[in-house]
Structure formats: structure tokens, C-alpha cells
Amino acid sequence: MKFGTVAIIGRPNVGKSTLLNRLLEQKIAIVSDKPQTTRTRILGVVHAPGAQIALLDTPGLHKPQHLLNRRMVRTTVDVLEEADIVYVLMDTTSTPGPGDLLVLDHVKGAVRKRPRPIILVLNKVDLVNKLKLLPVMEAYARLFEWTDVVPVSAETGDNVDRLLSVTVAHLSEGDAAYDADTVTDQSMRTLAAEMIREKILLQTYEEVPYSVAVEIDEFVEEGKLARISATVLVERESHKAIVIGKHGERLKAVGIDARRDMEQIFGMKVFLQLWVKVRESWREDEHALMELGY
């Protein structure tokens, strides 16, 4: 039996959570086109023949502006330093930029402390013309002495099987750390909060998505029914109005979409109530961040 932990790191919006979901063949991490969608470490366990892989999705590495963002970066750095193997995700739809170099600085620091396999995962190859892809891949490959370089499409699943086989080859012998039916350590409350936040991210723009948090006030299971009450936190009255929408239409749409996902993932009917509350500067409030699990 082989076992190991794998950190999934990269700059914001390179497809880390999409890759995690693809490797697990089910959705446990929310996804949007907004940078910094992932705010915490997310565990996903892959059960392969003769091996168990503990994947650790992380917030995108960036220059933080708020206490929340500083905590997000700290989370990623901690996971990077502790992991047995590291996936460094980079986006082939663009050439290496400052954000990628920032990620690389963190990787080099971690490798100096403790050498371990560093796998360059070149994502979004399905979006690049094949004639233009090779020079972009070569530009990324020259940045570092990678243990392996694997081009993939997290969106379509292209070449993800090869990434798994490469990963298993680098795992050490060891007992499985998780039961055979464990997929994630996220609770149903956490998953519910994240699904609500995802729908808000998909329907709002500019500063609003980054200033939203979701708190589950009540989660009660009654047989095949889950009764969930949640509060959406925003920092300004203007943001509250945007999240609610004209005549409450946006909040209603968020609830419908979130409930549909919950029912699919939880395997039960869901009764969902949503409220919106202003909590000024919660991203700089240490007590608020602790309450929200950040």
C-alpha cells in the first residue's frame, strides 16, 4: 500500500479546485471565475488501486490586502511545507507572469527546507491552439527543475489519468490514513455554506463577491429532509442590496441553485432559508474570521 499527501498550489484562478473535483470524480470544492474563490484548505481523498492520495486544495497565492487574505496565504504556505508531493498548477492560456513567479518563490523556499517531488501541472490545454501550446509549455518548464511535467485539462479530464499514475509512482509505502469511504473531511454544514457562497460568486461582480461570507445558523436533519437556515454576511448596505436584488430576485435565484446542488450532493430534500446581514469590515475582524472558520 502507498500513501501520501499532495498539495495543489498556484496563483488564483488557475483551476486548482476544478482539478481536485476532477481527480475525485465528484464535486467537493466550489468553483467560479473569480480569483480567491477558495479560502481554506480542502481535503479530497483519492482511492486508487494499491494507493491512497490525500489531495489538499489551497487558496491561490497572491499579495494579501486584508487579514482574511493573509490567513489564506498562510494556509497555503503551511500546506506547501507539510505535503509529501506538490502539484504546481499553471495556466497555459498565458505565458509565465508575476503571479507564477511568486508561486515559484514559495516552492523554492519549501524545497530548500525539504526536497520532495514537485510536479508542474500545465492546465487548460484544451483552450490553447496546439501550434501555440508547445512554446508556452517550454516557457513554464524552464522556470524550475520539475520532477515531472504533466499537461492536463481539469475541465475536460484530458490526461488526468496520467497525472494520477505519475503521482502514485512518487508515493512512499505506507498505510492508508483514511477509511475506504472517506472522500473529504468537510462537514455538511461547511459544504452547504460553500455552495451558497458559490452561487453568490457566480451572480455578483466587482467587490461584492470578495466581501461575502456565509454562516449556517441551523442545520437540522429530519429523515430525508434537511432544514437549513443561513446568513449571508456583507460589508456594506450597498452590497446587501446587490445580493438581495430587485424584489429579492437574486437571493431567490441563489437559494434555488444552492438547494439544487445540496439535494444532489446530500441525497435528500433541502428546505433552505437565506438572510442577508451587514457586518462591516468582517475581513479585518479576527473574531469574525474565527467564527466563520477562517
Q: List, for residues 190-226, the tens digit of each pLDDT value.
A: 999 999 999 999 999 999 999 999 999 999 999 999 9
- The yes-or-no verdict on residue 130 having pLDDT over 90 is no
Where do the structural domains in the chain lie, given as residue ranges? 2-173, 188-291
What percent of the chain has a predicted confidence (pLDDT) above 90?
Answer: 98
One fold for both 2-173 and 188-291?
no
Residue 54 exposure: Cα atoms within 13 Å on the Cβ side:
20
Q: Look at residue 151 in the predicted model and tell me its pLDDT.
A: 97
Q: Look at residue 213 in the predicted model and tell me its pLDDT.
A: 98
**CA–CA separation, 200 and 177 (whole Å):** 35
**CA–CA separation, 24 and 45 (whole Å):** 7
| SS3 state of residue 40 | coil
Query: Do residues 252 and 200 touch, judged by C-beta distance below 8 A?
Result: no
Average pLDDT over residues 124-143: 94
- The yes-or-no verdict on residue 177 having pLDDT over 90 is yes
Q: Look at residue 80 in the predicted model and tell me its pLDDT.
A: 97
- The yes-or-no verdict on residue 174 having pLDDT over 90 is yes
pLDDT tens figures, 219-268 = 999 999 999 999 999 999 999 999 999 999 999 999 999 999 999 999 99
CATH fold of the domain at 2-173: Rossmann fold (3.40.50)
Average pLDDT over residues 271-277: 98
pTM of the model: 0.95
Q: Look at residue 176 in the predicted model and tell me its pLDDT.
A: 96
- The yes-or-no verdict on residue 170 having pLDDT over 90 is yes
Query: Do residues 281 and 239 touch, judged by C-beta distance below 8 A?
Result: no
Place of cell 444552492: 258
- The yes-or-no verdict on residue 46 having pLDDT over 90 is yes
Average pLDDT over residues 56-73: 96
Average pLDDT over residues 152-178: 97
**CA–CA separation, 83 and 267 (whole Å):** 33
> To the nearest whole number, what is the mean pLDDT of the chain?
97
Burial label, 246 (beta-carbon count in 10 A; 0-12, 13-18, 19+): exposed
Within 8 A by CB and 6+ apart from 246, the residues are none
Q: Look at residue 205 in the predicted model and tell me its pLDDT.
A: 93
The residue count of the chain comes to: 294
Query: Do residues 170 and 6 touch, judged by C-beta distance below 8 A?
Result: no
- The yes-or-no verdict on residue 145 having pLDDT over 90 is yes
Q: Which CATH class is domain 188-291?
A: alpha beta
What is the band of 55 on the pLDDT scale with cuts at 50, 70, 90? very high
